[in-house]
With several copies, the nearest count.
Chain A
Amino acid sequence: MVEPLLSMTAIGKKFGTVTALQGAEFQLKKGEVHAILGVNGAGKSTLIKILSGVYQQDEGSIYLDGAAIRLDSPKAAKQQGIYCVYQEVDTAIVSELTVAENILLDTFAEKGNLFVSRQRINEQARSVLHELQADNINVQQKAARLTLAEKQMVLIARALVHSAKIIIFDEPTAPLSIHESEKLYTVIAKLKAQGVGCVFISHRLPEVFEISDRITVMREGTLVQTYDTAQADQDGVIEAMLGAALSHELEPRAHDIGAALLEVSNLSDGQKLKDLSLTVAAGEVVGIVGLVGAGKTELAKALFGGTPLTSGTIKLDGKNAKIKHPADAIKAGMALIPEERRKEGLFVQESLEANASFPNLKQFSKRLLMDRKAEKRYANEIIERLRIKTGSTETPLVHLSGGNQQKVAIGKWISLNSALYLFDEPTKGVDIGAKVDIFKLIRQLAESGKGCLYFSSEIHEAIGISDRILVMYNGQIVKELSRQEATQERILLYASGGKEELGEKQEFGERKRDSVSI
């Protein structure tokens, strides 16, 4: 066999006391698409950040074309022809610069012509975007004005500008619609034909199986196995990822559903949301599912008074609720666990205590003075109840892992005893154990008669937890499905703007999307 283009051997990396990688292995051949799979925190991003020079490995070595190389900065990696499309879009986009400048960002840091010709870079940028079939993006506008998906296309374009040996895609399709993803697949196919080695990371198993040549599964920072895609089967791969067969199904709901708790009619916000109506009953979990950018977060925020409405009414417990600000929503008995917990839900520099008591300070203060003991008592209570792993109630939240942070973001609302909980992607970035805990918690809330709205783009999870599912597409609710009716395929169809008749025909079409992916 020919020598691999790239080979990483016995890579180890620690962050403080956290071991991200240990003895990780990875090989890439010329002109192959090699997918890396693994649960959250398996070390995928860390591995490729080492490969692209962002981090340096503590141990192990990297060979390119058979020669050992050191990659001590992103620049060094680029000089070797290794380019990367990073997972977090906003860390890599400079929103103040134009699209063209963003696409050619790497070239500015390289040696070369001192003067920059605006015309030339615009042209270059246009031609790359054309290759991606994204001609609709105006290269002269500021990147700040792009949608998330467009930003992702810009980042992909950035990697295509250069004549790369290796291009790494770290979850590039997460913010893309199916249509856009397919454009990316064709580009990857072209790169492959040109002999570029592509590393492809994704949580969407079907696409991995569709486009990759080989699959490497990682678990707990180390290599589990590398498969030839043609020979691999999905269940096997999943088992390799999890270390056990998947049994995520929750018990079906056993308690009764009560009277209508939340009634929303004809709600619009003048921008994304158009004429939405929905109801939630006490004890019910209603899933709101849609692809990224469908407007789920906007809906959650709008219900919670975070963004102003242009029309529509919200009734809680049969009474009209005037919600102009989250404070009104809280008073009316709502709680929101926002999508971006670090940015919107938590005070990460503060202690667990301070976070936990915050939405309901009155309960933790005698007259005006804070009652520190009561705060501590409550903090310990939620630690126990949600099984939060932490040293003490006084540690700043930055020291907690993502899943535990998410639990605090939920736990802080419990003292309020709200009637209605809005969960916006509560399992995002959360490992499987924590996920199960969170599902159980949601179930508990429902059992005790609370209403829950569960916003998610993880369709299978929504199916698992919800009693009823509303599908969102482009700011509207396009379909309501009962738990029995809901299948991945149907939801996905409506969520990507498909219509009923069309859907029935396609249901058993060539692309099978019945597997559960985590």
Chain B
Amino acid sequence: MGKNKNSVKENAIQFLFKYGAIALLIFIIFYFSTISDAFFTYGNFSDILRSISIVTLLALGVTFTLVVDGFDLSVGSTMSLSTVVSASLMVWYDMPLWLVLILPLLIGVFVGAVNSFLIVVIGIPDLLATLSMMYIVAGLHRTYTEGYSIYNNMPLTSGGTAPGQLSEAFLWIGQGQMLGLPVPVWIMLVMVLASYVVLNHTRWGRVLYMTGGNAEAATLSGVSVKKVKFTAYVISGIFASMAGILFTARVGSGQIDAGAPLMMEAVAAVFVGYSVLGAGKPNALGTFFGAAVIGILLNGLTILNLPYYAFDIIKGGVLVAALAVTYVYAKKKFSKA
């Protein structure tokens, strides 16, 4: 059909698209390994995994909202709020562990619900609604602690010291080991796997992708688009809260504004993940992969002793490369249609 010349080029692009990201990762790992013996070790990789665990959770939430064709910019603030709330529950109020874990998650649910109210009921576009919520939640979390970070036995503004401290059991979540891997890594892996299964292998996942792909068609097929969007934002809120809890446990205190800088990184991870295995759309494994690429790169660059200020260039470069592959491919793919 006279397209043999084209098809070689097309196949190359297709290959690049499907395996390019993975090839890149292998190349990076190989390169750093030749530079430093310390790089390709079990210990270093478990550290890298641990260092990306928080961002990955956040990014999974963003993934869910992107799947339904939304966008959650408020995850960073939500994570900050959950960070200080979980710490304060222990430090200020000496609450039992189960409450310390449940309450922040409920807050995540609440933020997600408000987000979807603004989007679904009021009709504010996703980006703008969650941008506003980003401000509001950030303000709330600072107001809640009056600008303080929260740590064991901190002095209270009302005088006296706080009664509680972060319990060992709680800290184990962020700092412990289990079966040879850090606990946060287990949490991350379980969540990635769960998200993957839900998104790719269950009916719910199809409903989510369907809603994101064509909301009208989903409605006609009997899907309640409002409910689906609501669910996605709530899931995003829950993931952000989990990230916040993990952050508190990892750092051992309730740092203020912990989530803000992680938001963009999470978004970057999701977008890098678009190009994994030719998905071309938000997907859980890709998100994990994106976070890993960025984490490995940063780790390797530190080992290389590259100045920290150059990191952002690399991060941006990887993002552009991943996006370029994805969208050049998408253009090829659909121009024929």
Contact = CB atoms under 8 A, between A and B. Distances in A.
Interface string A394-412: 0010110000000000001
Nearest to B198: A368
A112 B210 contact: no
Contacts of A106: 221-222
B209 interface: yes
B201 A109 contact: no
B13 interface: no
B219 A326 contact: yes
B204 A86 contact: no
B221 A74 contact: yes
Interface in A73-129: 73-75, 78, 84, 86, 91-97, 101, 105-110, 112-116
A396 B222 CA distance: 22
Interface in B310-337: 333-337
B95 interface: no
A354 B210 CA distance: 9
B224 A115 contact: no
A97 B209 contact: yes
Nearest to B212: A96
Interface string B116-132: 00000000000000000
Contacts of B203: 107-108, 112-116, 361-362, 365, 368, 370
Nearest to A306: B220
A476 B166 CA distance: 70
Interface stretch (A211-219, A336-344, A382-390): A336-344
Interface residues of B, number: 30
Given A91-B214, A116-B201, A361 B206 contact: yes
Contacts of B221: 74, 92, 105-106, 108-109, 326, 330, 358-359, 412
A441 interface: no
B218 interface: yes
B216 A91 contact: yes
Contacts of A16: 335-336
Interface string B219-232: 11111100000000
Nearest to A114: B202
B3 interface: yes
B281 interface: yes
Interface stretch (A180-188, A256-264, A345-353): A345-353
Contact of B210 (A108, A326, A396): A108
A304 B335 CA distance: 18
A22 to B, nearest CB: 15
A422 to B, nearest CB: 10
A325 interface: yes
B337 A93 contact: no
Nearest to A361: B203
Interface string B37-50: 00000000000000
B213 interface: yes
A358 B203 CA distance: 9
B201 A115 contact: yes
B224 A347 contact: no
Interface string B183-206: 000000000000001000111111
Contacts of A144: 333-334, 337
B52 to A, nearest CB: 27
A86 B197 CA distance: 32
A358 B201 contact: no
A190 interface: no
B8 interface: no
Interface in B236-265: none
- Chain A CB count within 10 A is highest, among B222, B281, B336, for B222
Contact of B206 (A78, A97, A326, A336): A97
A431 B197 CA distance: 41
A74 B222 contact: yes
Contact of A116 (B206, B218, B219, B222): B206
Contacts of B217: 91-94, 105, 343-347
Interface in A346-383: 346-350, 354, 357-359, 361-362, 365, 368-370
A189 interface: no
A101 B220 contact: no
B214 A110 contact: no
Contacts of B224: 73, 75, 325, 327
A17 interface: yes
A145 interface: yes
Contact of A354 (B206, B216, B220, B335): B206
Contacts of B205: 116, 370
B1 interface: yes
A421 to B, nearest CB: 13
Contacts of B223: 75, 108-109, 327
Given A106-B221, A144-B334, A329-B222, 14 more contacts: A92-B217, A94-B209, A95-B214, A96-B213, A105-B218, A108-B206, A108-B207, A109-B223, A113-B203, A116-B203, A304-B220, A327-B223, A344-B216, A370-B202
9 tightest A-B contacts by CB? A75-B222, A398-B337, A94-B213, A96-B213, A327-B222, A330-B222, A109-B222, A108-B206, A94-B214
30 contacts: A17-B1, A17-B336, A75-B222, A84-B220, A92-B221, A93-B217, A94-B209, A94-B217, A96-B281, A97-B209, A97-B210, A101-B206, A105-B206, A107-B203, A108-B206, A108-B221, A109-B207, A109-B223, A114-B202, A115-B203, A145-B333, A326-B220, A343-B214, A347-B213, A347-B214, A354-B206, A357-B206, A398-B334, A398-B337, A399-B336
